[in-house]
Structure 1
Amino acid sequence: MSDKLERRITLGCVSYINAFPFSLELAKREDILLHTAPPADLLGKLLDGSLQFALTSAVGLLTHPLGKLPGFGIAAYKKILSVNLYAASTFFTSEKLRIAATKESRSSVMLLHVLCRHLWNTPLPEIIQLSSDEVIEKAEEYDGLLLIGDKALHHPYIPGFATYDLAQGWYELTQLPFVFALVLSNNPQGSDSIQAALESSLSYFESHPETAIAKAIEHTQLPKTLIKEYYSLCRYRLTEEDYEGLERFREYHAAIYQQA
Structure 2
Amino acid sequence: MKIGIVKHLNARPLTWGFEKDTNHEIVPDNPAVLKDLLLNGEIDLGLISSIECIRNRQILNTYYATGVCARDKVRSILFFKNRKEEFPPGIILTDSGSKTSVALVRVLIHEESGIVPEVKPTDSKIIQDQIAKGIGSHMLFGDNALLAKWDSNLYEVKDLAQWWNGITGLGFIFALWASKKPLEVENSAFIQSLEYGISHIEEIISHELRLQETVVREYLTKELHYKVTEEDRKGFLLFGEKCKTLNLL
Q: Deviations over 1:33-59 (max 9, x none)?
A: 221101111111111111221111000
Alpha-carbon separation, structure 1, partners of 2:25 and 2:184: 12
Distance 1:244 1:30, change over 3 A: same
**After the TM superposition, which residues 102-251 of structure 1 pair with which residues of structure 2 at under 5 Å, given as runs?**
102-118=95-111, 120-121=112-113, 123-139=115-131, 140=133, 142-155=135-148, 157-158=150-151, 160-192=154-186, 195-215=187-207, 217-218=208-209, 221-231=210-220, 232-251=222-241
Distance 1:254 1:23, change over 3 A: same
Instruction: Mark the runs of 5 or more structure 2 residues left unpaired by the alignment.
Output: none
Query: What is aligned with 1:3?
Result: none
- Retained in 2: the 8 A contact 1:100–1:142? no
Q: Deviations over 1:227-259 (max 9, x none)?
A: 01111211111122211111011111100017x
Alpha-carbon separation, structure 1, partners of 2:88 and 2:201: 46
Instruction: Report how many residues are paired.
Output: 244
- Retained in 2: the 8 A contact 1:86–1:158? no
CA-CA distance at 1:184 after TM superposition = 1.2
**After the TM superposition, which residues 19-30 of structure 1 pair with which residues of structure 2 at under 5 Å, given as runs?**
19-30=11-22
- TM-score relative to the length of structure 2: 0.91
- TM-score relative to the length of structure 1: 0.87
Query: What is aligned with 1:98?
Result: 91
CA-CA distance at 1:141 after TM superposition = 7.5
Alpha-carbon separation, structure 1, partners of 2:71 and 2:51: 18
- Retained in 1: the 8 A contact 2:65–2:228? yes
Deviant stretches of 4+, over 4 Å: none
Instruction: Mark the runs of 5 or more structure 1 residues left unpaired by the alignment.
Output: 1-8
- Retained in 2: the 8 A contact 1:61–1:68? yes
Q: Equivalent residue of 1:257, what SS?
A: coil
- Retained in 1: the 8 A contact 2:130–2:136? no
- Retained in 1: the 8 A contact 2:65–2:191? no
CA-CA distance at 1:157 after TM superposition = 3.6
- Retained in 1: the 8 A contact 2:93–2:121? yes
Query: What is aligned with 1:54?
Result: 46
Q: CA RMSD in A?
A: 2.0
Residue identity in the other structure for 2:35: L
Q: Equivalent residue of 1:110, what SS?
A: helix
Q: Equivalent residue of 1:138, what SS?
A: helix
CA-CA distance at 1:24 after TM superposition = 2.8
CA-CA distance at 1:115 after TM superposition = 0.4
Q: Deviations over 1:15-71 (max 9, x none)?
A: 001111133331221332221101111111111111221111000112113221120
Residue identity in the other structure for 1:83: I
Alpha-carbon separation, structure 1, partners of 2:23 and 2:182: 16
Residue identity in the other structure for 1:241: E
